[in-house]
Structure 1
Amino acid sequence: GMQFVAATGGFAMFGPTGMLVATIASGFMTVSCFLLIAPVQIEMLELGRQYKVSSRQVSSGLWLGLLAGILLGGFAVLCWAYGFGGDSVRMTWQFQQNWSYDGYRAAELAIDRAMTTGSLHKPETACMNIFANPNAKGLAIGAVITIVLAVLRSMFMWFPLHPLGYVLAGSHLMAGAGNANMHAGFWLAAFLAWLIRIVVLKVGGARAIREGLTPFCVGMFLAAVTSMIMFDIAGLVLRCFGVADVYNGVP
């Protein structure tokens, strides 16, 4: 996210305020599992179409999710953080994001020096200058590779490399075992999903995936969501009785 901002001019184009807003936005829009929200929504819409779910029911579900996210994920968490103190909440990583502004602080100091020396506007910071701006050059190279992979993927069914895999390869989600357990577990889950799909496709063909594997995976997803809701309710009840050490993992 911030590479795109830098490729379009960075501080020279947007100024300190614009870059601060971009830094804050990138902190929750391009981090780990949040990258999967939009693809999951598309998958859910496609499943709704396959199972002939009415558009009214889909709209109701979307509005319910939005309100729940604002009221539970936003208002309730802020109330708890204010009531107990951010450092006292068991899940404290949300309140320890000061490190994400280190790059902004360093760049702001550098831009102050550039303004005093008159070197603020230069080819290295020009908007989308793919020859001089290293961030723009990186985006251009990545875009070309992504397009080539997409074309090859659409032309040859046997082509194994997916363009989305290349796009996500450098993201925090793909960081692996050096980070949170969720990131480390992603590779195992992705490998098992790929292996199961290959085996089912070889044994039963596309019909087995469409009529057997897809409903099974939908059931697993619904079971995971149900278990999360159950543990959340149990955690809320236990919290009312002063018990703070409750299960809070993601299935």
Structure 2
Amino acid sequence: MNFSSDNVSPICPEILAAIGEASDPALPYGADAASQQLDHAFSDLFGKEVAVVPVATGTAANLVGLSALVSPFGGVACHHQAHINRTESTGVAFYGNGAKLMTMDGPSAKLLPETLDAFLTRENTHGMHSVDPECVAITQATEFGTIYDVDEVQAIGRVAKAHGMKFFMDGARFANAIAALGCHPADITWKAGLDVLSFGATKNGAMAVDAIILFDPSLRGRVEKARKRGGHLFSKHRYLAAQLLAYVKDDLWLRNA
């Protein structure tokens, strides 16, 4: 067992087999049969109609997904230890065309609802001379391995909604959080007011795929254009879809976590 990072883990056998089975010729850029199944598979998983936009990296899932929720002159409120702040270089500003990360502290790399409420109240009062927060982002599980429980995510969602903010979750290790909490995926996503989730698979047995889950399917066009503009649209899209379909089949994602 290697404790340096979950990135050192191999491809799990079920996903490796699914990649091999996707070797027949198929239409490109998401027009293949496997890609057409993604929305249905993930809508079943979350108990709500969703749109799924696959990418090959967690960084792309975070940055392309976030770009749909914040304007070039807006801000993303997050913990200072959040992955998007500590480990994504200047990607949020790059994909958000100038959008700024606005950070705050909290115990164990987690935002506290009361701290977030005070921060949003304080930072949303300076008008045209400053950056107004437009989105709240949390990491689940956090870089410290801590997990927001159901009540904590829903409380943050209520604060975000009260301030008119969009709500984003970096779920590179979302499977680990669900496995630990034992809750339904809906409880810490759309039922908590989440707009966009980056749903991680690469760190949990996939070869190279994470999914942008849109709980408002009308965002699909915007996110797909951002994906193309950023160079993350795969030609042989079926290999991303095959990984994701195998990943969620028969709860493989939870068993791996």
TM value normalised by structure 2:
0.20
Looking at both structures, which has the greater relative contact order when contacts are Cα pairs under 8 Å and sequence separation is at least 6? 2
Greater helix content: 1
Q: Select the structure that is richer in strand.
A: 2
Output the TM-score relative to the length of structure 1. 0.20
